[in-house]
Amino acid sequence: MVQILSLIHSGDGSLSSMPYIPADVTNLKAKYHRESRLADIEDTIAYFEEKAKADTDFFYMIRLDDEDRVRNMYWVDGAARRAYKHFRDCISFDVTYLTNMYKMPCVPFIVINNHNQSLQFGCGLVQNEDTDGYTWLFKTFLECMGGLAPMNIITYQDFSIRACIEEVFPLAVHMHCRWHIIKKAEETLGPFFADRPELHKAFELCVDHILTVEEFERSWTAMIETYQVQDNETLTSLWEKRMYWVPAYFMQCFFLFLQTTQRSEGFNAALKRYVSPGNSLLQFAKQYTALQQKILGSELQQEANTALKQPKLLTYLPMERQMSKIYTNKIFNK
């Protein structure tokens, strides 16, 4: 672009001598950005092809729009694909923003392994956060993983994502992030509870310390009637969405210590230390690979610790000794 403008300013040194109009400059800029974008896509595909030569299980798919812009992208290394069948119990799914020069949200698929570590099962980029984009991404993920769907999924509260999950992963149990729901509710409930401390205590007891659906629903109904808060819109909304976030509804599902998308958010924070909003697609993919290598190295270290170090026993009971041999050190200590 600098070269183009220097040509425009050449000649006798005056702009008036150049036979161009502002639309010409706009067209030149558009052509430059289009060519730059195409070169970035070509370089990224070449990078993925090189990865696929070294790793036969490497998978990637890119979807372009009519103007040759990346509409959706997903890629995953072979190690993650091979591990998926062992750790598909629960996937945490969240979106992080401004991680590349095209301002395309990054959508990592995060799971927890047998060392209580976060692993990434590939990364998606979406041009538009709409039903079409997420449906493509989920279907591509399912294809990549040989049609094996995750058993449980936790996401932030987004009903367009819920619709896509119901379509692509109809048998998966889907939980909304409890922390985000409560945080949003506290914007109105905070002052309301401040004037009603006993109601606040009853609310926390009902949500946090009840194990069955039947008991939860009885306790909630009793709480509403006891404190006469039938007209509170926030509490009514929480009740209507109770099956998406209240722990009692998920007691029979294996969510691996999760009730929030904190694992995804923690990964997103780590990712932003590796990439910047100015990264091209190629730079982003390379930095993502660097982060993945660090994660895999940490996993190998934990494997070695479990193999070489005996965890400390507190009771010396037979069951404790048995569990110390079955669980990894991290899970045994937890």
Nearest one of 166, 162, 138 to 245, comparing CA atoms: 162
Cβ-based neighbours of 184, under 8 Å, separated by 6 or more = 157
CA proximity to 157, closest of 128, 178, 137 = 178
In which residue are the tokens 């990549």 written?
Answer: 144
What angle (nearest 5°) sits at the alpha carbon of residue 34, between those of residues 50 and 140? 50
Q: Look at residue 7 in the predicted model and tell me its pLDDT.
A: 42
d(CA 223, CA 312): 45
The reported pLDDT for the residue numbered 203 is 95
Please state the separation of Cα 127 from the chain's center in Å: 15
- 96 φ, ψ (degrees, to nearest 5): -115, 150
Angle at 115 between CA 58 and CA 324, to 5 degrees: 140
From residue 287, alpha-carbon distances to 41, 160, 303, 334 in Å are: 16, 30, 25, 32
**CA distance readout (Å), 311 to 114, 173, 257, 298, 306:** 15, 34, 21, 19, 8
- Report the pLDDT value the prediction gives residue 67, as an integer from 0 to 100: 77
Q: What's the Cα-to-Cα distance from 57 to each of 44, 51, 284, rounded to whole Å? A: 18, 9, 21
Task: Specify the pLDDT at position 163.
Answer: 92
pTM: 0.80
CATH assignment, 54-177+260-303 = 3.30.420
**What angle, rounded to 10 degrees, do the helices at 131-144 and 159-168 form?**
40
Q: Which pLDDT score, from 0 to 100, does residue 180 have?
A: 86
Q: Looking at residue 20, what is its pLDDT? A: 58
Burial class (CB in 10 A: 0-12, 13-18, 19+), 93: buried
Q: pLDDT 10s digit of each residue in the chain, 334 long?
A: 444 444 444 445 554 555 556 555 455 444 444 555 678 889 999 999 999 999 999 999 999 888 777 889 999 999 999 999 999 998 988 776 556 677 788 888 988 888 888 888 998 988 877 889 999 999 999 999 999 999 999 988 887 888 999 999 999 999 998 888 888 898 899 999 999 999 999 999 999 999 999 999 999 999 999 999 999 999 999 999 999 999 999 998 888 766 565 655 666 666 777 777 677 889 889 988 888 888 888 889 999 999 999 999 999 899 999 999 999 999 999 8
Rounded to whole angstroms, how far apart are CA atoms 324 and 317?
11
Phi then psi dihedrals of residue 189, to 5 deg: -75, -25
